[in-house]
Amino acid sequence: MALLDLTPYAEMTAAERTQRIGVLLETALVRYHRRQRELGALRNCEKRENAAATDPAFLVSDETDKEMVRRVARLEEATPHDLALALGLSRATVGRKLARLKTAGVFLVSGKTSATRYRLRGDSTLN
């Protein structure tokens, strides 16, 4: 049945009217759900953009690096030893990753040798 069927309802049988109403409702529901998916996709894009603005972990692509950034954000500062224990990595691996993140400008470093502490550059009140 065509969407723009101009047959007057008075000339239709009850079954034809019911079918016509069903087609119209189906079309409306399909359009409604399609629009909801589009709006949901837009909201997800906005959330990702907001996450990029507030979550430093969004700036790095490696999952281990992201976890390191999140842990330092939660703790406000951490030592390489703390991160190695928490992530189950060797201190050499953690050291390489921290050096790369420091060079990228994600972390600030204070102290030297075993007293070295890493904290996020900028706002450290992230959860």
Task: Say yes or no: 116 and 60 in one domain.
Answer: yes
Query: In the predicted model, is pLDDT for residue 10 greater than 70?
Result: yes
- Binned at pLDDT 50, 70 and 90, residue 125 comes out as very low
Q: Which domain holds residue 66?
A: 56-120
| Same domain? 84 vs 41 | no
Domain-located, residue 60: yes
Task: Tell the residue number behind the tokens 């009217």, with chain if given.
Answer: 17
Do 114 and 60 belong to one domain?
A: yes
End-to-end CA separation in angstroms for the chain: 56
**Does 73 lie in the same domain as 37?**
no
Do residue 44 and residue 68 come from a single domain?
no
Domain CATH number, residue 107? 1.10.10.10
113 shares a domain with 63: yes
How far apart (Å, rounded) are the C-alpha atoms in residues 59 and 123? 15
Residue 125 lies in a domain: no
The predicted-structure confidence for 36-78, as pLDDT tens digits, reads as follows: 888 887 777 666 655 554 556 666 778 888 888 888 988 888 9
Over the chain, what is the mean pLDDT? 80
Higher pLDDT, 14 or 5: 14
Give dist(CA 2, CA 19) in Å, integer: 11
Provide the sign of the torsion angle of the four alpha carbons 50, 53, 54, 57, taken in this order: positive
111: region left, alpha or beta (phi > 0 left; psi from -120 to 50 alpha): left
